[in-house]
Amino acid sequence: MVTVILRDTLTKGERSLVGDDLDELVLSMRKAFQGTMRHALTTGIEEILGRKVIAFMSDNHIESDVAVEVFLLKPADTGTQDNGAGVAA
């Protein structure tokens, strides 16, 4: 798993919306943007790590101005058996 934590992510416009109690609108816009960027983000991680991303999750916390991006990677081929135990060399 790769977890990316970002701070101070709100734009000036988003901070203005939050100031007008429109937090849900900001979260909705962010979710739409993350959906649009899903392919580019997962492709970037796959290229950097040489591993397949099998799930991407993203969320934001307005009050703390923190965002998290989580990439769940396909298990590496390590010669494990069905029970997950490693094969003795």
Q: How confident is the model at residue 76 (pLDDT cuts 50, 70, 90)?
A: confident
Q: Which residues pair with 72 in a beta bridge?
A: 55
5 touches 71 (CB < 8 A): no
Sequence spans of domains, the chain: 2-73
Tokens read off for 34:
């993350």
**31-63: per-residue pLDDT in tens?**
999 999 999 999 999 999 999 999 999 999 999
Tokens read off for 37:
């960027």
